[in-house]
Structure 1
Amino acid sequence: MDANLTGNLSPDDPELSPVTRAMVALRGQVLDAWMAEVRRAVPQAKELSLPILANTLPAYFDTLAALLTPQHPARIVSDLGTVASEHGGERARLTLYDATAVIHEMQIFRDVLFRELERHGVVLEGEQRAMLSSYIDATIRESANAFTVVQAALREQFVAAMAHDLRTPLSTAQMAAEMIAHTSGDANVRRYVEKIVASTQRIDGMTRELLDRIAFSKTGPVRLTIQEVDLVTLAREVAQAAEVAHAVELSVEAGQVRGWWCAEALRRAIENLVNNAIKYGAPDAPVRITVSTTQERVQVLVHNRGAPIAPEDSEGIFQLYRRAGNQGLGEGWGVGLPYVRRIAEAHGGSVMMSSSEDDGTVFVIDLPMDARPFAGAPTAA
């Protein structure tokens, strides 16, 4: 059921319950109705382009629907939290939303979902409706929390940039004051200059301390060279190169998926995911790469079998120089997954992860089809 993370569950999948299949069949109508209502009711959403407004909602919708299938995989619940968090993070990085707008649009989603299901004759039992309402409420909190966390990270980056830029005019002012002290014979002037120099030195010391406290200032901006790319060809090249070391299966929904991205950055991001899948996955099971599309967005999914990533490690693996602790690795230097997240976010997208003993581990890079308007977008990773 990995397709839930890409928003590509099939209404014909026999493993899904009838109510899940009925709900998935209405995905397009529900999301269109939701977007129309959000544009009307949320001022910050009026001018958003379709891929940014749609965001991770196809995956969110499908994961909610999967909850209505009895004996659904246990990971589905954590998947829902992951998708909701990425939704909030994207809103912080790519829109003018505030936390109230994030909460409001998710409340609209809940109302529109039940209205459209009823309008199309999809009958929910009382327990099913209560369960969906409960999970939507929980994920509203997760989206709002992620929005707040990412917004705080972006504020730190802004402060770091300002502190860094302040040091140049401070240095110039200090040098100019010292020149005045050397060339002036007026004792009062020299006394005032000493105060200026002492003050600029204090400010410089405070800015250096501030920079030392903000780790984000050391990562630097993501520089992308955007061009038209066939993502299927790129994924096939990565798969063929990796097949030297391990079996890799490529699944695509079309012969080509053309869009505007940074080819080299995406190649490296996919290579990182595939190499991790080979390194930490089961040696006798192939790694699977899937390329799919939703509303003006594209998804690259990389799946492997093997020991799962523990829930407590699910966010830590995206932090610079950390690795998951449940795979016998301990702490170590690692930049692969943080790099993947930064590249996805710099394209105006997200990266999501799901892992369980039964289903293996899945990473999904979810991007707008045309990243040109979002190139170099703020990244929290």
Structure 2
Amino acid sequence: MSPPLVLLVANPSPGRTLQALALKSQGWRVEEASVAGLSEPRERPDVLVLEGGLPLDREVLATQGLATVVLASSVERERLRQRGLQASFLDWPASLGELVEGVRASLPPERRELPGEGAPTTVLIADDDPLSRKLLQLHLAPFRFEVMAASNGQAALELARRRRPKLIIADVLMPGLDGFRLCLALRKDPRLANVPVLLTHVGAPDELDLRMAQNVGANGFVRRTQEGEELIAALLRELHSGGPSAAPLDQGLLCEEHLYGMVRRLERQVGLLAQAERAARESEERYRLVVAGSYDGVWDWDLRHHTMWCSPRLLELLGRRVEDFPGTYDAFIAWVHPEDRTRVEQALVTHLEEGTLYDVSVRLRHADGSYHACVSRGQAMRDEHGRPVRMAGIINDVTEQLRLFRETQEAVRTRDEFLSVAAHELRTPLTALRLRLQGVNAAMQADTPTSPERISQALGSADRQVQRLTGLVDTLLDVSQLQSHAPLLQLEQVDLAAVVREAVARSEQEASRAGCRLVMSPMPATLGRWDPVRLAQVVRHLLANAMKFGPGKPVEVTLEARVDAAVLKVRDHGIGIEPERLDALFQRFERAVPVRHYGGLGLGLYRVRRIVEAHGGAVTVDSKLGEGATFHVHLPREGPAAANSRV
């Protein structure tokens, strides 16, 4: 059976020539054509390779059913897929190795392993750096060459004499027998004289390197890069041409130039190593500074030696010292909350075995015994066999963020509840007002006369509802101002006892409706520098609060005059306050009892606190559930600091 036929359709270029050489290196037959050549009769190929950027629409439609590999950009790939092209796509530009693998995958299974013409292609690599040898082997892997490797020139020469390779790649700097002298030795061996030799090194060759390579009979000198494309291209060209370079010069003529060239190259190599070492030190210093300055903690787990390193910042987050951490995984996992430990260990195992993302929330025990909410992320590093050998990552303490998130959730819940309560509180007087006005309107339009007393009574009730609405709106506006800044006070010398008596007198009618008796103890004149209007608001609200939660029971008001302060007490005999509600009672939207049992916006005591604090004072409450509550207002006689005052 003849080898597979690959039809390569691309514009003529050096790139197309290399693509053809890469495909031919697999023993496949390759025909090259332009777009126009697609319409010409020919043997049906096993695989059609189309270069991106060509006007392929008409031809593509004509080749439906043929295994096709298209080298195309992402935009062109989408366009061709929309036109219904069934093909394997490779990113343009694709490496030569990717092209070979793509074509092999598109061949029928029974044709993929069909041997080509001639013996297997054997490539010998001579390099003292194991990483360089491994990298070059990876570059050659898609071509399925048989690769032999040697760690120095002498070992490579002996290996080549035992088994003649098709091509040799040699690094010029190797201990013992370097690349130049290896090439010279090969050219003097009759059996190996015709084997193509490519010299290579990480540095770009200069004029002396190129002349030395020519003088020793090398087929080329190629700079070795991580991508390896330049070296692969040179290898394919030499395999195709299959001959040596010019015959080497006499060894005597080469000796002095060779020594001079090797000294020059060693000098450059030392310079490169010094530069690399300097870059490594700078990189390490940058990493150290980043770790030291980062808010996140860093961890590094050596899976082979079962040791673990934690950055000082990570230990600081947990309130621990560097000398207290024994540096083991078991010691670290012991800090994980028992309820989280199984989940964290399972996430680690899954990441190490399957490569899934490791990103878990975890509670870690602080040195003080508390648990901090954290997020741990990490990535495993693997050896050449894919086995995990190390894992590193970061831990971020999100305790504060979690607290703020929960507070935000609670604030949103409280806001929504307040809006519902506010709507209810505003709707109640509006409904009553509307009913009163509708009643008056109906009475005015009725045939039977309506007494002025009834109309006056209805209008009086409507006026009270308007006053209630006005009070609610004023409260909302006042709280809005109090939230943004301290209340502005109109300070003057005032008798607090007179303010309290007047506020009590104004609350008598409301007390009568609630069935409460307002009891005032004798009050001496209590002078101080205060805002009488604001303090009257404080007294009236405390009285209203007492009557709401203790209807039908007395409310006691006392005033104590001290040398430097006045203490106002308002005591009710109502339902009392649950202990867990006392701390938050003076916050916005907080209530002593659930809103479904009692009305109100939950703003009154907040206003009281803000006004009292603006005077430089404090308000507290004593209460037992079922035994009422006593509010204490402490006011310094000298008033607030000047910064909070406006005279």
Specify if TM > 0.5.
no
The TM-score with structure 2 as length reference comes to 0.23
Tell me: higher relative CO, structure 1 or 2? Use CA pairs within 8 A at least 6 residues apart: 1
Which structure is higher in helix share? 1
